[in-house]
Amino acid sequence: MTPRQPTTEPDARYSSALDPRPGAENVTATDWAEAERRLSGAEVFWITTVRTDGRLHVTPLMAAWYDGTLFSSTGPGGQKARDLAGNAHCALTTGHG
């Protein structure tokens, strides 16, 4: 079975047609190969989850990108685990140093 790869395309709500900055018309979405390269080289991960009352919870995440999968862990009683059990919507942010 061939792994599915996400599609990368600009969101029309944030399109260059609405962006008045010079050069905005040349902005394109990052292709998946580049996104995966950045994930595999990331030194820092942050996860943003949604609490049961709707507030956001942002915290560092010990994680590693390997073979197309993000691996991480949290305790069953941890805030991240409780948030994700109630609402799987989250955002992952990466960076270096």
pLDDT, tens only, 12-46: 666 666 666 776 666 677 888 888 888 888 888 99
Cα-based distances in Å from 9 to 6, 28, 29, 31, 32: 10, 7, 5, 8, 10
Other CB atoms within 10 Å distance of the CB of residue 26: 7
Instruction: Look up tokens 């709707």; give the residue.
Output: 54
Q: Residue ranges of the alpha helices (H) in the chain?
A: 32-41, 79-86
Over the stretch 68-96, which tens digit does the pLDDT of each residue have?
888 998 888 999 999 999 999 999 998 77
> For the chain, which domains are there?
12-95 (2.30.110.10)
pTM for the predicted model, two decimal places? 0.69
Please state which of the ranges 7-11, 31-35, 52-56, 84-88 shows the lowest mean pLDDT. 7-11
Side-chain half-sphere of 61: how many Cα atoms within 13 Å? 25
Place of tokens 């140093």: 97
